[in-house]
């Protein structure tokens, strides 16, 4: 397999108020096992690690577990397990089984064991609760987190898609008693087109020492400008299972923001992708945007943004045009 073009090394940041250091760009695997085959996934992972990337994010629900299996195979055959910070998520799915499903203690610990089996590892570096479960008591959900860390199967823990009060409740519970595993990360959608986490969510994250891992930092691909003149046949918007996911951000307001991003990119001699990614990467509280890619060439565009720092005037203009 050929080596990619040399790219600037990815810088490292601490994940929240913890000793764990991760690359300030994370590789997402949502399409692996469905739209991304094993060869393409190998090319992406190799390029990412070669550039100094470390944080690789997956989930038990991605392609019904196929993403975890594919990533696990690559960690055995393509890149060393020790070269990545391996992160996965447990989805709070309901079931009729005896453990109640969702974010119950039994269901979560069973989901973790299944993830470890698919990944072919004895532990994950970051285990994240994929969603809040209003049915199961929070203290029961978090007892599973503590048990997972105490058993050695998990090193650090985080949450995903939590609102400010939910993050506050979970963060306070974990820090109230010595020995509980503190939350170190939160995954939320955050981009120039989705700034809802600003304010209460980011304030709660800062208070509890939680670092933000933005998902969809390119607004589901819209901020790259690829949809300015239609829907490319090889894009997610042309896919039956991702079309609605992308359409969420194809609005008149989005078109104005995309135009501003494109104008900034032209002035800086770079790509709209790099501008949009650099903007969210350097927002207060952000540790590492999670980017997915159709192929290694597209990932190279994200990695190339590492050398871009937006001038204050351009950052201010983008803040204004994208203000909620």
What is the length of the chain?
Answer: 324
Mean pLDDT value of segment 9-18: 95
Catalytic residue among 62, 156, 190, 227: 62
Task: Give the pLDDT confidence score for residue 121 in this predicted structure.
Answer: 98
Choose among 214, 190, 193, 222: nearest CA to 318: 193
For residues 247-273, average pLDDT: 91
State pTM to two decimals. Answer: 0.92
**Domain covering 12-218+284-308 assigned CATH 3.40.1190.20 in the classification:** no
Percent above pLDDT 90 for the chain:
81
pLDDT at residue 93 tops 90: no
User: By the 8 A CB rule, do 154 and 148 touch?
Assistant: yes
pLDDT at 220: 84
Span 240-249, mean pLDDT? 61
Phi (first) and psi of residue 121, to 5 degrees: -130, 165
Please list the residues that pair with 214 across neighbouring strands. Answer: 188
> For residue 238, what pLDDT is reported?
42
Average pLDDT for 55-71: 97
Domain ranges of the chain: 12-218+284-308
Lowest-pLDDT choice from 80-89, 241-250, 283-292? 241-250
Give the model confidence (pLDDT) of 197-217 as tens digits. 999 999 999 999 999 999 999
Residues 15-28 pLDDT 10s: 999 999 999 999 99
Average pLDDT, rounded, for the chain: 91
Q: Is 156 an annotated catalytic residue?
A: no
DSSP type of residue 223 = G
């Amino acid at each position: 397999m050929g080596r990619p073009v040399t790219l600037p090394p990815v810088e490292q940041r601490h994940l929240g108020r913890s000793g764990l250091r991760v690359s300030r760009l994370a590789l997402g695997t949502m399409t692996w096992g469905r739209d991304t085959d094993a060869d393409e996934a190998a090319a992406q992972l190799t390029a990412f690690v070669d550039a100094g990337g470390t944080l690789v994010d997956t989930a038990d629900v991605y392609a019904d577990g196929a993403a975890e299996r594919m990533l696990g195979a690559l960690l055995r055959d393509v890149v060393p397990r020790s070269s990545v910070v391996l992160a996965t998520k447990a989805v709070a799915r309901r079931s009729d089984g005896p453990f109640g499903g969702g974010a119950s203690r039994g269901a979560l610990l069973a989901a973790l064991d299944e993830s470890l089996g698919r990944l072919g590892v004895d532990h994950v570096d970051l285990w994240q609760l994929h969603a809040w479960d209003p049915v199961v008591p929070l203290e029961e959900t978090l007892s599973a987190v503590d048990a997972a860390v105490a058993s050695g199967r998990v090193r650090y823990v985080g949450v995903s898609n939590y609102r400010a009060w939910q993050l506050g409740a979970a963060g306070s519970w974990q820090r109230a008693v010595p020995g509980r595993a503190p939350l170190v990360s939160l995954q939320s959608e955050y981009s120039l087109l989705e700034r809802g986490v600003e304010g209460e969510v980011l304030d709660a994250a800062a208070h509890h020492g939680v670092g933000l891992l933005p998902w969809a930092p390119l607004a589901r691909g819209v901020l790259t400008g690829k949809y300015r003149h239609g829907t490319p046949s090889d894009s997610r918007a042309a896919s039956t299972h991702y079309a609605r996911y992308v359409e969420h951000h194809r609005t008149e307001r989005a078109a104005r923001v995309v135009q501003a991003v494109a104008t900034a990119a032209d002035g800086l001699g770079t790509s709209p992708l790099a501008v949009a990614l650099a903007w969210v990467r350097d927002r207060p509280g952000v540790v590492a945007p999670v980017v997915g890619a159709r192929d290694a060439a597209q990932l190279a565009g994200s990695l190339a943004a590492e050398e871009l720092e937006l001038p204050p005037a351009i950052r201010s203009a983008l803040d204004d045009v994208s203000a909620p």
